[in-house]
Amino acid sequence: MSGGAGYIGSHTVIRLVAAGHDVVVVDSFANSKPAVVGRIESLIGGELEVHAFDLTDKDKTEHLLASMPFDAVIHFAGLKAVGESVEQPLEYYENNLESTFSLVRAMRRHGCGLLVFSSSATVYGPDAPLPYREDYEPLVATNPYGRTKVMIEHVLRDVAHIDESFKVALLRYFNPVGAHPSGTIGEDPQGIPNNLLPFVAQVAVGRREKLAVFGGDYPTADGTCERDYIHVEDLAAGHVAALTALAASPERVRTWNLGTGTPTSVLEVIAAFERASGRPIPYEIVGRRAGDLAQTWADASRAADELGWRATKSIDDMCADAWRWQSQNPLGYPDA
Ligand code: NAD
Ligand code: UDP
């Protein structure tokens, strides 16, 4: 697994181990802390093999893939901050594309032919009809981060097209939130959170004074944006299901939305978090954030039909688990 020390990867390691898989992690710790490894080990009750290097290093990637047989790779590694990608486009294109090239080259050279890739609902762009369906084209993202996802989807399709021994699952995540129910692992953004849930959680715990709600005049029921929030535990389970389905699949490219199929507004998230934490979330409605769409949510029926997987957790579950993580770890993971 690449990026296994990150938010979604750390939760997925636990699910994979519980399902009987042996997991090896590569992570550069560019956006995660080594302390997560011990937390994962406590939850899996054993050691986790972790290789700390950057996947853009072709030699190291090649060396690892040559060192033991891998059945499959789940590729989470990548930079993911939309705003930062606008400021630093080259870094984003280089990191996200080069790491994928390096990984796919080494996989093919060493006979590993199953790849599960972390794509995103952002690939649907501003014009796709709601709810988003996997067969929608063309994919047009509106920022460099999103464009790396569109580009990588194309690259992986093209490779699977010419290589009979290479199969790929493109998983388009909606808005992952929440944390492991133990409260020992969760989302640990560096600096000021860009995303809604970690910001709300930091307001609840007293690290930030109030939330700025970006826009109250959208054409939605309460005027605030709606998103399809999905519990990270459901998302992790979706990876296990996708891996199993891909291994058995006669088709070499499979695309699945991983969402709940239900939109929730910003004000509904605030109310749910207040219920979960028992604390008020002060907020102020400010101007719209550039690039935000009024509503996005998944048509989750393909994953239900083909993977037998569906999200099970409610927005109240998501907020309760996010709050447990945030209140037990107000400053996130320790540095050492
Ligand atoms: P994250 O930043 O918590 O985890 C990504 C991990 O990859 C980090 O631990 C980071 O150190 C590592 N990494 C980055 N570049 C690397 C490289 N070149 N070599 C080795 N390791 C590297 O992010 P996440 O939220 O867990 O997201 C995982 C994947 O899912 C990403 O590809 C992201 O773009 C995608 N995704 C995330 C969301 C979301 O909202 N969290 C939504 C859609 C898609
Ligand atoms: N949002 C907000 N204040 C914040 C962060 C986000 O009002 O500090 C809103 C944002 O406008 C969007 C929703 O919350 O409507 C989800 O934003 P996030 O960045 O988490 O996800 P994305 O926009 O990528 O779907």
For 256-282, write each residue's pLDDT tens digit.
999 999 999 999 999 999 999 999 999
d(CA 165, CA 47): 31
| Residue range 114-134: mean pLDDT, rounded | 98
Residue 333 lies inside a defined structural domain of this protein = no
The atom number, within ligand 2, closest to the CA of 121 reads 25
Residue numbers of the domain that contains 224: 7-328
pLDDT at 203: 97
For ligand 1, pick from 27, 61, 76, 177 the residue to mutate: most ligand atoms within 8 Å of CB. Answer: 76
pLDDT at 240: 98
Q: For the chain, give the percent of residues with pLDDT over 90.
A: 100
Strands 114-120 and 167-173: parallel
Residue 336 lies inside a defined structural domain of this protein = no
Q: For the chain, give the percent of residues with pLDDT over 70.
A: 100
Residue 31 lies inside a defined structural domain of this protein = yes
Task: Report the mean per-residue pLDDT for the chain.
Answer: 97
Residue 139 lies inside a defined structural domain of this protein = yes
| Residue range 83-91: mean pLDDT, rounded | 96
10-65 pLDDT tens trace: 999 999 999 999 999 999 999 999 999 999 999 999 999 999 999 999 999 999 99
pLDDT at 261: 98
Using the predicted structure, report yes or no on whether residue 96 has a pLDDT greater than 80: yes
CATH number at residue 108: 3.40.50.720
Q: 208-222 as b/e, with b when 16 or more CB fall inside 10 Å?
A: beebebbbbebebee
Residue 206 lies inside a defined structural domain of this protein = yes
Residue 92 lies inside a defined structural domain of this protein = yes
- Total domains, the chain: 1
Using the predicted structure, report yes or no on whether residue 336 has a pLDDT greater than 80: no
| Residue range 79-87: mean pLDDT, rounded | 95
pLDDT at 179: 98
Residue 2 lies inside a defined structural domain of this protein = no
Residue 1 lies inside a defined structural domain of this protein = no
131-176 pLDDT tens trace: 999 999 999 999 999 999 999 999 999 999 999 999 999 999 999 9
| Residue range 107-117: mean pLDDT, rounded | 98
pLDDT at 71: 98
Residues with CB under 6 A from ligand 1: 2-3, 5-9, 26-32, 54-56, 76-80, 95, 99, 118, 120, 173, 176
Residue 193: pLDDT band by 50, 70, 90 thresholds? very high
- Overall pTM > 0.75: yes
The Å distance, Cα 196 to ligand 2 centre, comes to: 5
The Å distance, Cα 29 to ligand 1 centre, comes to: 10
The Å distance, Cα 142 to ligand 1 centre, comes to: 19
- Asked about 283 being catalytic, the answer comes back as no
